[in-house]
Amino acid sequence: MSERNTVIRSLHDVGLAAWFGGTLMGAVGLNGAAAEAKDPRERLSLSSEGWKKWAPIQAVAIAAHAVGGIGLIVANRDRLAAQPEARVNSYIKLPITLIAAGASFYSGILGTRIAEHADEGGAGTTEPHAAASRELASAQSQQKILQWVLPALTGILIVMGSQQGEQQRPIAGLLRK
Q: What is the number of domains present in the chain?
A: 1
Tell me if 105 is assigned to some domain: yes
Average pLDDT over residues 24-53: 95
Tell me if 44 is assigned to some domain: yes
Domain with 42 in it? 6-167
Q: What is the pTM (predicted TM-score) of this model? A: 0.90
pLDDT score at 174? 47
**Tens of pLDDT, residues 74-109:** 998 988 888 888 899 999 999 999 999 999 999 999
DSSP secondary structure letters along 49-61: HHHHHHHHHHHHH
Tell me if 83 is assigned to some domain: yes
User: Which DSSP helix (H) or strand (E) runs through 134?
Assistant: helix 134-167
Contact yes or no for 120/129 (Cβ under 8 A): yes
Tell me if 175 is assigned to some domain: no
Tell me if 172 is assigned to some domain: no
